[in-house]
């Protein structure tokens, strides 16, 4: 049986073979646009600082200078939140491709920042679990697994009302 999980994310073979050139080109263009915007923000801020007016960029610089560790932690929290959103979208997409096996799926609340998903299967058996766990097997072979742990929990339908739902992924 050929696994679907090899499609998420693209393998390095895809990148080296040129299959992702349009994606890379779009990302480079987006970075270039962002760099242009940042240059404009810097130019405006240089003029405004002469007048004693704070821009968003000047405010950020002051914040970093005043409390660099707190600013670093805020940046880390923002990054973690974005990464969690990306991984949640990947898991959701994977589950949607196997929606014939999934009754419902949730991202669930936990005391930690781990990515925890509870899945209720249409038919709870070893074969269905094995198919859905393929993505975790692949994920746990990446460097992300230590930084951003992902867990699947399978639950019976009669416990659905007791699941601490953070986000409904599939219904």
d(CA 10, CA 24): 12
Written as six digits, the tokens of 166 are 């953070």
C-beta of residue 101 within 8 angstroms of C-beta of residue 133: no
The pLDDT > 70 percentage for the chain reads 88
Sign of the CA dihedral 51, 57, 59, 62?
A: negative
Model pLDDT, residue 16:
43
Q: What is the mean pLDDT of the chain?
A: 85
- Is residue 134 scored above 70 in pLDDT? yes
Beta strands in 11-101, from DSSP E residues, in sequence order: none
pLDDT tens figures, 139-166: 999 998 998 999 999 999 999 889 888 8
- Residue 152 near residue 97 (C-beta atoms within 8 A): no
Q: Is the pTM of this model over 0.75?
A: no
């Amino acid at each position: 049986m050929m696994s679907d999980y090899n499609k998420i994310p693209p393998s390095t073979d895809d990148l080296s073979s040129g299959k992702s050139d349009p994606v890379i080109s779009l990302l480079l263009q987006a970075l270039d646009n962002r760099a242009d915007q940042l240059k404009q923000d810097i130019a405006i801020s240089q003029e405004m600082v002469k007048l004693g007016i704070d821009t968003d960029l000047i405010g950020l610089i002051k914040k970093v200078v005043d409390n660099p560790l707190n600013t670093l932690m805020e940046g880390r929290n923002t990054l973690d939140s974005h990464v969690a959103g990306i991984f949640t979208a990947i898991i959701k997409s994977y589950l949607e491709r196997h929606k014939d096996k999934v009754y419902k799926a949730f991202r669930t609340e936990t005391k930690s920042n781990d990515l925890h998903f509870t899945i209720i299967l249409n038919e709870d058996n070893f074969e269905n679990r094995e198919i859905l766990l393929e993505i975790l097997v692949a994920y746990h072979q990446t460097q992300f697994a230590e930084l951003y742990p992902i867990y699947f929990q399978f639950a019976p339908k009669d416990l659905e009302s007791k699941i601490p739902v953070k986000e409904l992924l599939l219904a």
